[in-house]
Structure 1
Amino acid sequence: MSRRTVLLSVTAAVAALGGAGAFALAYAGEQPPMLEESKARYTAPDGDRDGALVFTTEATASSGVKDVRVLAWPADSPFADKELTAKDMATAEPAVCEPSGEDTARCTYTVAVTAADAAESPRGLWHVAVLARAGDGSTTLNPKATRFNVG
């Protein structure tokens, strides 16, 4: 093989690999947000002191985390038969997100639980649904990101 043929072959291979790498990077940029480390802690009201529901999650999106919405729902609710949709989550409350890495945000949702709230709430297993939206508009919905018990 001539030196010129080898040089052209190497150049073509580098261009092909570079193109594949660029495609992989472009594809990676289009991935929906990822949710990890989702946890909920429920504390019942006690005497004259309110309780609370605290939910945390790590949201990662290469285009940045635009917002995270959270909805707690009882396991025996209608959502158990008809799974939640992004449309259902449109009116869910937002979590507060703080940057915790290059493309990651630590998001926290906290709501006070009064004695009256606790008395009206169904007992038993509850789920927390999470909708994360990235800067590029892509979304991830996890209708059962975590769970907790109301006793």
Structure 2
Amino acid sequence: MSKRLVVSSLAAVAAVAAGTVVFVSSADAAVPDKPEISKATAHYTAEADGGASLTFTASVADNSKIKNLRVLAWPASSGLAPTAAEMRDVEEATCKATSTTVSTCTYTVKTSAKEAATLPEGVWHVSALATAKDHDTTFAPHAATFTVKH
């Protein structure tokens, strides 16, 4: 048994004996090996000029940092079922690091009044493909939903 392990063990025993429990954690211990998409939200807003905007935001974590997050919004009524392979060619969100392993990614798109009027009403899904700098990927076919109303 190494001296460092013995000293650490004795320190833990002393802390418990004194009635004090100390928890040591590492932020990197909870960081996923593959990209993890969380806190995903989508907001569709009809603009005063008749146009519309969609903002999708998600927190993305990976132990090798995030390379990009690709985003595709599609109407549920369309019957589409995008695959991860198809997502490789869609638009990217803008990602900003909030720590060494987590980024907040935001995708915003605006449409003209003419374009907004042609969007199918009802529930829409947002699919997202996260790619880490080590090239691991995670695909979320239904990362978020929103409703289009005219």
TM-score, structure 1 as length reference: 0.75
The equivalent residue for 2:65 is: 64
Q: Please report how far the alpha carbon of residue 51 of structure 1 lies from its aligned counterpart in structure 2 after TM superposition.
A: 2.1
User: What's the counterpart of residue 76 of structure 1?
Assistant: 77
Instruction: Report the counterpart of residue 47 of structure 2 in structure 1.
Output: 45
Equivalent residues in 2 for 1:25-44 (5 A)? 31-44=33-46
* Structure 2: 5+ residue stretches without partners: 6-29
The structure carrying a bigger helix percent of its residues is 1
| Equivalent-residue separation in structure 2 for 1:77 and 1:141 (angstroms) | 20
Task: Return the offset for 1:149.
Answer: 0.2
Residues paired across the two proteins, number: 123
Asked if 1:124 corresponds to 2:105, the answer is no
Q: Could you tell me which residue of structure 2 aligns to residue 55 of structure 1?
A: 56
| Identity over aligned pairs, percent | 40
CA contact (8 A) 2:131 2:137 kept: yes
Instruction: Flag structure 1 segments of 5+ consecutive residues without an equivalent.
Output: 1-9, 15-27
Give me the whole-angstrom Cα distance separating, in 2, the residues matched to 1:110 and 1:55: 6
The answer as to whether partners of 1:44 and 1:113 remain within 8 angstroms in 2 is no
Distance apart, 1:78 and its partner CA: 2.8
The normalised TM-score by structure 2 is 0.76
Cα contact 1:96–1:108 (8 A) shared by 2: yes
Distance 2:75 2:90 in 1: 15
Would the aligned equivalents of 1:59 and 1:107 in 2 still touch at CA under 8 Å?
A: yes
Deviation at 1:30, TM superposition (A): 7.8
Indicate the residue corresponding to 2:137 in structure 1.
139
What value does the CA root-mean-square deviation take over the aligned residues? Answer: 1.8
